[in-house]
Structure formats: structure tokens, C-alpha cells
Amino acid sequence: MTEKLDERYQLYERLGEGGMAEVFRAEDLRLGREVAVKVLRPQYANEKSFLDRFINEARSMAGFSHPNVVNVYDVGRDGQRYYIVMEYVPGEDLRRTLERNGSLPMKQAIDIARQMAQGIGYAHRKGLVHRDIKPGNILITPTGEVKVADFGIAKAMASVGFTEPGIVWGTTAYLSPEQVRGEVATAASDVYAMGVVLYEVLTGYPPFQGEDRVAIALKHLNETPPPFPDTLQLPRGVEFLVRKALSKSPAERFANADEMARSLGEYLRAGADATVSRPIVPPSSPTILPKAREPEPRREPAPRVPLPAPTQAEEAAGRLRAQRTERPTGMAPHTRTTSVSAQPGIDWVAVLLALLAALSLLGLIPLYLQVFSVVNLF
């Protein structure tokens, strides 16, 4: 293609296209530099709402200057053709990179997300929300530099324009839950979209997929992102960063892109090596359970040996001991001194009883005399 716009911009091959416009590699004949020119599709030239959006892109981006943002140089009109002149970025967009590679190594993915967040953070500080962050709008140079492009639906948060509730702009796979509900997009909405992009760069596919846009949108509203494949063995910090960015509630995400960029940069500098499989949220301290007591070995009870039946003398001695232990309270026990000195280890009572029992068996004395003698003895 060799068409010129305003006799200044020579258009060459087409670099890409979207719903609203086509992008061409071009040359600024006046300044002699290579540029990219976005040309609004002819069918939208008479649509005031689309035309306002298109012109607003150039005006909002004209004062931007950041290494991670595609700079805007000029805006013009050639007949019924409206165009924006931008910085030409050699390389390719992230969508083509993913189509070729499927996914990217972890550190490269984090570095791309960090640079992307730095560019979006700069726009947030300028009061702009991108609202259409996706791999097709992330350009990567041959040296690995990342530049965010296509602020075509970005709006100044302080202005009216296209920020009315109920209007949904953006690509469904990267829409935040609040955008799906038709609410006004904020910096937190961009953070959510960056979380979706980072998830996709790590895995090769976005977290939510479905048969159509409605099915995908409902998943953004109601479902939690699926866990990362165990084969990735992502570090705990990386999983936490992605999950935080993808929180359903804007208040639970990073406050803005700058905060997300700092967290990603801190992780890269730390160079953590620890890997975990699940979950992303750091677990609490483990609960230490008391050690179970080992069962004591079962001991078999000793065999019971039947005791011999007591003799008549032993029964009498037992009754005597019972009488002595049942004395009324307060009465001192009766003591008796004998001429026999007791020696430790000898039970003289048992000896005497045994002697009496032997005499009884021999018939030398009646049984009642045995009992009488025992009672008097004690």
C-alpha cells in the first residue's frame, strides 16, 4: 500500500486491525521518521459517538511520555478519513507471541507484566483508565521492551464522555466483574485485566473460557480462577500476585497498576526459589496435634490360686482381731507386756495359734479352751 494521508504520511503494510480501525506502518515525510498510523474505518466516520472516542484517544494521549507507553504524535483528518499518528514499535504484540509459543517462562512473563503495569500505572497517574487491556494491545520489541498501545477507549476519570454506567467497553475475556455489570471502570478494573493477561502468559490460556461471550462474562462474575497446572510449580509469591489481581472485589486487588508493578518488581529482585503447588494464599501456621499415646502391652492376669480353708483356730483369731478393731472411739487400746521379747520377722501369734491347733487335733484340750486362752492372751 502506498497511499498518503495529508501528503505527509506515507502508508505501507498493515500491522494490525481492530473493530474500529486499522494500523499501518508509515513514514512521516516531513520529519523523515518511521511511524504507525491508525486509520478509522470509513463506516464509522459519520458516527459521532465512535468519532468522539477516536479523537479523544489522541487528545488524552498527546501529553504522555513513558518508556512503557506508545507515544502519540499527531491526529488529523484527510477528507472522510480520520487518523492518529503514533510511535512505531518494532517487534510484535503479545497475542502473536502467545500464538507462537503457547506460554512463556515464568520470569519472562513476570517481567512483561511488570513493564505493562508500569505503563498502565503512568496512565492512572494521569487520570486515565485503559479499559481494554489484552495481549493484542501489549507490544514487545526485539530487545524485550514492553509498550502498552491502543488507549482508544481510555477515558479521563474526571470527565463525562463514555463513563456512564450501563455501557460496557472492552474484550470479554479480560473484563472485570464490575465492567460486566455495566459499572464505571476504574484503575482496579485495569488491575484485574492485567491479572488475566499474566495468568494467560503463564499458562497459555485465559482463566475463564466459554461457548460465547455471555458464558465467559458470567464466569468473571461468579467463578474463581482455576488453579494453575501443577506442572508449572509456580512460586508461592507469583500465585499470590495473580490471585490478588483477580479478586472479585476491587477493594481486594492492588489499589492501582503502580502498586502491582512494585510487587512484581520486588519479586523479580528477590529471586525466590521456593515452589509450591496449591494454594496461592500463604497457609497459616500448622496446628500441632498431641502425639498419640502408644498402647501399653497387654498383660495377662496372674492365675488365681485357691487359698486353703482356714482352720478353727485361725477363724477364732480372726474374730478376735475384729473385736479389737471395733473398740469405741476414745478408748485406749489395751496393752500387755510379756516376758518374751518380740523379734523382728517372727510372728509369735501365728506360732502360738499353730501350737494350739496341733493340741486340738490331738484331743488334749477342748476347743472352747483354745478360744478362751486366745482371748485372755490378747
pLDDT of amino acid 247: 97
* C-alpha cell belonging to residue 298: 497387654
273 a catalytic residue: no
CATH number of 1-88: 3.30.565.10, 3.30.200.20, 3.90.1150.10, 3.40.50.720?
3.30.200.20
* C-alpha cell belonging to residue 104: 512463556
> What type of residue is 100?
R
pLDDT of amino acid 121: 96
Helical segments of the chain, H only? 48-61, 94-101, 106-125, 177-180, 187-203, 213-222, 236-245, 257-270, 312-325, 348-362, 367-377
Condensed to tens digits (0 to 9), the pLDDT of residues 334-375 reads: 444 444 344 445 565 565 556 555 555 545 444 433 443 443
Q: Which pTM does this prediction carry?
A: 0.67
Residue ranges in the chain modelled with pLDDT below 70: 1, 57, 152-170, 271-378
Per DSSP, 69 falls in state: B
Domain ranges for the chain, please list them.
1-88, 90-278, 352-378
Catalytic residue, chosen from 78, 93, 111, 132, is 132
**C-beta of residue 35 within 8 angstroms of C-beta of residue 41:** no
Write down the architecture of domain 90-278 according to CATH. Answer: Orthogonal Bundle (1.10)
pLDDT of amino acid 53: 72
Condensed to tens digits (0 to 9), the pLDDT of residues 16-40 reads: 887 778 999 999 999 999 999 999 8
